[in-house]
């Protein structure tokens, strides 16, 4: 059973803080994703990684960076949190190479005050 685990379910941070959201998967998946979910806007891709130390910008990368130092871990970093980054953040992973189903973490609801 694939497990994608996000480090926090709820997080409250202050404007200007540096915020780290962590995601770990236990199935040796090649691909990892960070999405942001807002009402009426669906799931918008922030960043995608297809291998260790490899990353690609998604649709809304501004204000975010990522780190993938190990295959199982993909971190999303908010360099200087702002109130418009208050949202639900979902991590996902997939094996790739024809096994394309994406498995999602439980989500982190981030509130920036």
Residues that bind another protein (CB under 8 A): 31, 33, 35, 40-45, 48, 50, 56, 58-59, 90, 92, 94, 96, 98, 100-102, 104-107
Residue by residue, DSSP assigns the chain as ---EEES-SEEEE-TT--EEEEEEESS--SEEEEEEEETTTEEEEEEEEEETTEEEE-S--TTEEEEEEETTEEEEEESS--GGG-EEEEEEEE-BTTB---EE---EEEEE-
Smallest gap, in angstroms, from Cβ of residue 100 to another protein? 5
Closest to another protein by CB, 14 vs 97, is 97
Nearer to another protein, 31 or 81 (CB): 31
- State the minimum distance, in angstroms, from the CB of residue 3 to another protein: 11
CB of 59 to another protein, least distance (A): 7
């Amino acid at each position: 059973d694939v497990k994608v685990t996000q480090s926090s379910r709820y997080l409250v941070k202050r404007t200007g803080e540096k915020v780290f959201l962590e995601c770990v998967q236990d199935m040796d998946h090649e691909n990892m994703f960070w999405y942001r979910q807002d009402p009426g806007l669906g799931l918008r891709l922030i960043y995608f990684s297809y291998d260790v130390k490899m990353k690609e910008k998604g649709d809304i990368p501004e204000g975010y960076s990522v780190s993938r130092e190990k295959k199982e871990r993909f971190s999303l970093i908010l360099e200087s949190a702002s109130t418009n980054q208050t949202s639900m953040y979902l991590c996902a992973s997939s094996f790739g190479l024809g096994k394309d189903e994406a498995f999602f973490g439980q989500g982190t609801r981030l509130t920036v005050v």
